Every structure is written in C-alpha cells, then in structure tokens.
Structure 1
Amino acid sequence: MIEKIHVPGLSDAIASRGVPLSVATKAKGFVFVSGLPPIQPDTGAMLQGDIVAQLRQAMANLKLALEHAGSSLENCVMVTLYVSNAGFFGTINKTYREYFPGLPPARTCIAVGSWPFEADLEVEAVAVAGD
C-alpha cells in the first residue's frame, strides 16, 4: 500500500505553485520525501537568506515532513542535497553535521545548472518509517 502524506503548510505552498507532487510518500516501510526548498510553511514564502539560513529551513521542512509520515531525521537512510553552487559545499557540510551529529546517513550533493525558483538548495530524503 502506498500512502501519500499531506504536510500542512508545505503541501499547500507547493501545490499553490502548480507543482504536481506529494511532499512525502510512505510505502513498504519507507518514507520518501520530495526535494524541499526553503519554503516557510507558515507563510508559503520562499526564505530569502544566505545558504546556512536556507539549509536550516530546508532541514526543518524535511524534519516536519518526516514527522507527519511517522518517521524522523534519525531514521534517514539517504539524503540528497541539490545546490545552485558547488562553492557552498564546505558551508553546507558544517551546518549539515548539526542535524546528523552521529553517524550520518548516506548522502549525495549535486550542483544544478538551473533552478525553477529563487532558492539555492533543496533537500530530499529516504527514511525508514517509524511504525
């Protein structure tokens, strides 16, 4: 069985932009979280700020999506970061470690050539469902 997860604030903000996706989908004991930019769930606006502020918002969004799907950051098995500039790599790593202080999940970081919105990154993940 596949369950599509509605995440208050995030799902609505993404749908209002005409993007056809579910923020998170649960299937076969896993949670798949779509790439989440630094959207502010309470306003639906894209956070404007430096790469650290954007990463913190995107990670908060990931945490929120996982919690609504019955999982958590601790249950992540794979994270993918998409960034607009490979030069952000060192700064991203420093901040990213705060969210995974122990042994972190597998991860890929990809620099993208163009972007459909005004942000410098988005984060997607696969986690084990908590139930």
Structure 2
Amino acid sequence: MSKAIKKIISTSNAIKPVGPYSQAVVLDKTVYVSGVLGIDKETSKLVEGGTIPQARQALKWLGVILEASGSSYDNIVKTQIFLNNINDLGAVNEVYKEFFKGDYPARSSFQVGKLPLGADIEIEAVAAVGEVTTISAKM
C-alpha cells in the first residue's frame, strides 16, 4: 500500500484564514481550497461595496491560493458559493465569468444564515493539481 501525502498550503501572497483552518490542502492530485472571503489584505477587512466587489476579491484570492497549490482556475472541477442573499447570484455570475471562460466547473450556490465577518459571499473550490486536459462531452 502506498502512502498518500497531504500537503498543507499556506501562502503569504493571499489573505490569512479567519479561523483555525488551512488556506488549502492538497491530497494526491487534488486541492481543496477553503472558503475565501473578499478581504482587503491591507486592512484585513471586507472590501467595501457589498457582494460584487467581495466576489471579485474572493475570486482573486482563490487564484493566488490555487497557484500556490500548483493549480489554476482552469483546473477547478467544483466550486461552492455561499451568499448572504441569493438574489445577488445573477450579479455574481457576471463576476464569475470574468474568471472562468467557458467549460465552467460544476457549482453549487446557497443562501446561508450568516457568513464570517458579516461577509456577503464566500467561495470554496476543489481543483486538480498539475497538467489537465479538458474534454467537453456535449451531446
């Protein structure tokens, strides 16, 4: 039996977790990115302006964490979006399309009771590590 290696990702290029968890964990060729908030690194507070600026900033941090993990937006297989208000989903979709260009990952979106720091949005992801070939099976 071979041993699996669990690699804890911690990059100073992204925001620090707001609790006792890792930014991401890589197991074999899969990276699990913890929920990311739209925090301004300079102030350690949520970016101003609500859901849309927070979504854009969270997706930027997601990219930084993915890069530190040996992955990228193109390698994401699943995202989960947690929203303070599900009515913001349409606007979030427009921001999402700035970071994902077709062949979108699988995704779930939820309205939740409350997010850390009073955030309007939190995004987490699961992605492959290394080189990935994407095949579209459109029927």
Match of 1:76 in 2: 76
Identity %: 35
After superposition, the C-alpha distances for 1:74-104 in whole angstroms (9 at most, x for unaligned) are 1000010000001101111122112111110
Deviation at 1:119, TM superposition (A): 1.4
Structure 2 distance, partners of 1:69, 1:49, is 30
- 1:44-80 C-alpha deviation (Å, 9 max, x unpaired): 3321223211111000010000001111001000010
User: Could you state the TM-score of these two structures normalised by the residue count of structure 1?
Assistant: 0.89
Question: TM-score by structure 2 length?
Answer: 0.84
Gaps of 5+ in 1: none
Aligned equivalents of 2:13, 2:64: Cα separation in 1: 10
**Partner letter of residue 98 of structure 1?**
E
Q: Determine the structure 2 residue equivalent to 1:24.
A: 24
Give 1:37-48 correspondences, 5 Å limit: 37-48=37-48
Q: 1:9, 1:42 within 8 Å by CA — same for their partners in 2?
A: no
Aligned counterpart, 1:102:
102
Partner Cα separation in structure 1 for residue 115 and residue 67 of structure 2: 27
State the SS of the aligned residue for 1:58: helix
Give the greater-gyration-radius structure (CA).
2
